[in-house]
Amino acid sequence: MPRLTRSLLALTVSAAALTAPLAGQQPQAPARPAPARATPATPKVTEEKRGLFAKAKVTPEAATATALSKVPGGHVTKGELEEEDGKLIYSFDIKVAGQRGIEEVHVDALTGAIIKTEHEAEAEAPHTKAPTKAPAPTATKRP
């Protein structure tokens, strides 16, 4: 056997031995690097009524990215595709850590442009007082 062929064969065998799993061990998947920072999961965008996604030209993912670009440091708590005032829009509620209330951002579902942003204050806390019951009617005896 020519010397070059023997060397090539030896390299091929060596490479196969290095990549083959050891007897009785399962091959392991390569470790994934940890994300740079943990981010809350983005909720799925819902449609107000069936069939609106088919009318939209902008994807929910693109609209979400546009809305988040308007509110730095925020995360979407709710997203909905709806018809409002004759326009097809994505409406997002975005919460920013450390701030009260939410930012509501509307994105045009046909052009991807931001239509409106509005800060909504948190709703007042429900009253802590227990609800009062109406007194039960008392039975009166007839003579």
Confidence category of residue 43, pLDDT binned at 50, 70, 90: confident
118-127: long-range contacts, CB 8 A cutoff, minimum separation 24: 120/93
User: In a 10 Å sphere around its CB, with 0-12 CB exposed, 13-18 middle and 19+ buried, how is residue 76 labelled?
Assistant: buried
Confidence category of residue 13, pLDDT binned at 50, 70, 90: very low
Rounded Cα distance, 87 and 113, in Å: 12
Give the global pTM.
0.58
Mean pLDDT of 54-67: 96
Residue 70 to residues 17, 66, 83, 117, 136, Cα–Cα distance (Å): 54, 7, 21, 8, 56
For residue 27, the SS3 value is coil
